[in-house]
Amino acid sequence: MNPNISALLTATIGAARASHLLSLVTSPAGLPVDADGRATRAEIAQALNIVLFGGILDRVPTGRAYTDDVAAAGGKVTFDHGALRTVKWRDNGALPEGETAFTRILRPLGYVLNGTYPLDRIGMTGRSYAHADAPEEIAQFFLSEFHPERYSEAFRQAVSRITGSSADPLTPRAQSLLWQLERDGALAVQEGAELIGLLVPCFERQHATPRLEDYEILLRESAEMAWIATEGNAFNHATDRVDDVFALAEQQKQLGRPMKEKVEVSRSGRVKQTAFRADMVSRAFVGAQGERVEREVPGSFYEFITRDRYADEQLAQPRYDLGFDAGNAQGIFKMTAAA
């Protein structure tokens, strides 16, 4: 076990939770280390990802049950990527619009753009970001931007009423630490842990409780934007990289878990994906008279991916296909449309 990652997690979430999560998730081997013992950007990125993966387990009972099964069998999850949804819209309150809210965080952590994917059927654009220091071992981020301008005037007004109240959770202290990390590639372990604690709130909903009327306007035209209205910038899903996604899907169906019917296969044939349907959660809304209204809506979900290896001529060795596929992504995103 990488001692800096363990120390970062222990300082952020406590020794017991850190030990538990580390027992569930495969640890990268051979990450870059700092000569002075500071936490490198790769170690900080990995520790942050484990904290965010733990958040998925807290919010997604189906995914937690699956992960517990893997651990009970003596295995670990290989965290392949986490997905976030953003809104590319001028009325976004104090929060930078679209993926900018996260690229300002990911870049200092060592992430670089790995691919762009038009998701036109659902009015979005997706972009993947891989870690420059360990792209196959540190989870990628799949950031998607929703485009309200492609929808009706009533829809756009509802989006503005919801996202216009957004706050910016990135504090001046967090910005200072990110700047130092981008400059030096490392931070003192204590400062790295402080940064992780400051970044975790960025992966939540930043706008006020939505009006139920606005939510219903959004839902009529876009399940994806309706999801953002209740969940915001929380992880939409986290993904386990497995050897055979087809066999896993059949196994999970036999256990009675809410598995997607079809496995999505990329045009290259090298990337195969499926997922559990989103677990339902209770969320608050503001009713017509200003009263609090509770409603069951789709929350986050848990995904599975198989990535084949192929011959990389530049590296002169086999490597995982770390790309994504627009068709796959749009099929997977429909998991939050479940009623």
pLDDT by residue, tens only, the chain of 339 residues: 799 999 999 999 999 999 999 999 999 998 999 999 999 999 999 999 999 999 999 999 999 999 999 999 999 999 999 999 999 999 999 999 999 999 999 999 999 999 999 999 999 999 999 999 999 999 999 999 999 999 999 999 999 999 999 999 999 999 999 999 999 999 999 999 999 999 999 999 999 999 999 999 999 999 999 999 999 999 999 999 999 999 999 999 999 999 999 999 999 999 999 999 999 999 999 999 999 999 999 999 999 999 999 887 676 678 899 999 999 899 998 889 855
Long-range contacts of 7-11 (CB under 8 A, 24+ apart): 7/39, 7/189, 7/193, 8/39, 8/43, 8/44, 8/47, 8/189, 8/192, 8/193, 8/196, 9/47, 9/50, 9/51, 11/189, 11/190, 11/193
In contact, 246 and 263? CB cutoff 8 Å:
yes
Residue tagged 């000569």 (tokens): 35
What is each CA distance from 10 to 26, 28, 29, 40, 147, in whole angstroms?
Answer: 17, 18, 19, 16, 39
CA–CA dist 80, 247 (Å, integer): 18
pLDDT of residue 311: 82
pLDDT of residue 313: 67
pLDDT of residue 314: 72
pLDDT of residue 30: 87
Q: What is the pTM of this model?
A: 0.96
pLDDT of residue 338: 56
What is each CA distance from 12 to 190, 203, 324, in whole angstroms?
Answer: 10, 15, 31
In sequence order, what E strands does the chain have?
39-40, 79-87, 111-119, 124-131, 140-146, 186-187, 237-241, 264-265, 271-275, 280-286, 292-298, 301-307, 309-312, 317-320
CA nearest 306: which of 244, 250, 261? Answer: 244
What structural domains does the chain harbor? 3-337 (3.10.180.50)
Per-residue model confidence as pLDDT tens digits over 144-163? 999 999 999 999 999 999 99
pLDDT of residue 323: 94
pLDDT of residue 231: 98
In contact, 177 and 190? CB cutoff 8 Å:
no
Residue tagged 């706008």 (tokens): 207
